[in-house]
Amino acid sequence: MTVNRISATSDVNRRSLWAIALIATFAIAAFWLTRPVTGAQSLSPVSGLMTLKASAQAAMPYESAIANGRPTLIEFYADWCTTCQSMAPTLQAIHQDYGASLNFVMLNIDDPQWRAQVQAFNVTGVPHLVLRKGVGEVAETFVGKVPKSVLTQSLQPLF
């Protein structure tokens, strides 16, 4: 009978340890998933999309930018693109910093009216950024997420 009690006690201890491990795992996961996040990661998809749409509304029309002779930053984007959404605050800040001397154009690749521009600039992914000199010559092209410091450095020679 003593052997059965030890075996039963051992089974209870094992189950208790498994229960504690399971509870600890859930507690750690809950903490990790609900922790406050700082920096670029804190941008929610909804706020990123809102920033992207606000930037698109504030952007200069393509035809005006091409005609005025100033350097131009053209962003090819899509509303569904999470990288475009996460870059929206960076591009918005660049627009604020350089808005007086730089045309800022946003073209939604899902809009059929920009099909010719998508083909002309060989857009194969979004975000696709094109820096044009004032005379229309392409100075530089970026595809994907680009740090603000890289964009700022690339803009300097255009002025």
Q: Which residues are catalytic?
A: 81, 84
Amino acid present at 4: N
Assigned token pair, 59: 């952007």
CA distance 154 to 25: 47
- Count of CB atoms within 10 A of residue 116's CB? 9
Asked if residues 138 and 131 have their Cβ atoms less than 8 Å apart, the reply is: yes
CA nearest 95: which of 64, 73, 122, 127? 73
117 by Cβ neighbours in 10 Å (0-12 / 13-18 / 19+) ranks as middle
